[in-house]
Amino acid sequence: QQQVKQSPQSLIVQKGGISIINCAYENTAFDYFPWYQQFPGKGPALLIAIRPDVSEKKEGRFTISFNKSAKQFSLHIMDSQPGDSATYFCAASRPNQAGTALIFGKGTTLSVSS
């Protein structure tokens, strides 16, 4: 119930291609779904986030698609660039808990080849 399952574990995409990372959850009380991006040697940083009352959110080349009935959400990176090579984590906000702690997926390592 308190898990977020992320796939694939690793992904190799050609420059200019579309990168797609998927996440699934069980707890329907989750109310906020962020994606974090982490470069080597750095801490994760918020990339984009969505609330469950919205089916899609787009920011530049990054889009979250959210399917409430399937309890799934995904990150799409259009026109992937070598600079997008990083580890990506999906997450969900724990409901009714002080401090708005997040549950993170296990991460996807993306490599964009030039």
CA 110 remoteness from chain centre: 12
Residue of 111, 101, 95, 94 whose CA lies nearest to 21: 111
* Token couple for 78: 């259009």
| Strand pairing category for 19-25 and 33-38 | unpaired
Nearer to other proteins, 14 or 100 (CB): 100
Shortest Å, Cβ 11 to other proteins: 15
9, 39, 78, 96, 111 from 108: Cα distances, Å: 5, 12, 16, 28, 10
Q: Does 20 bind other proteins (CB under 8 A)?
A: no
Q: Which of residues 47-106 bind other proteins (CB under 8 A)?
A: 49, 51, 89, 93, 97-106
Q: Does residue 52 have a cis peptide bond before it, meaning omega lies within 30 degrees of 0?
A: no
Among 12, 18, 29, 46, binds other proteins (CB under 8 A): 46
Among 42, 53, 69, 83, binds other proteins (CB under 8 A): 42
Nearer to other proteins, 69 or 97 (CB): 97
**Which residues are near other proteins by CB under 8 A?**
2, 6, 9, 31-32, 34, 36, 41-46, 49, 51, 89, 93, 97-107
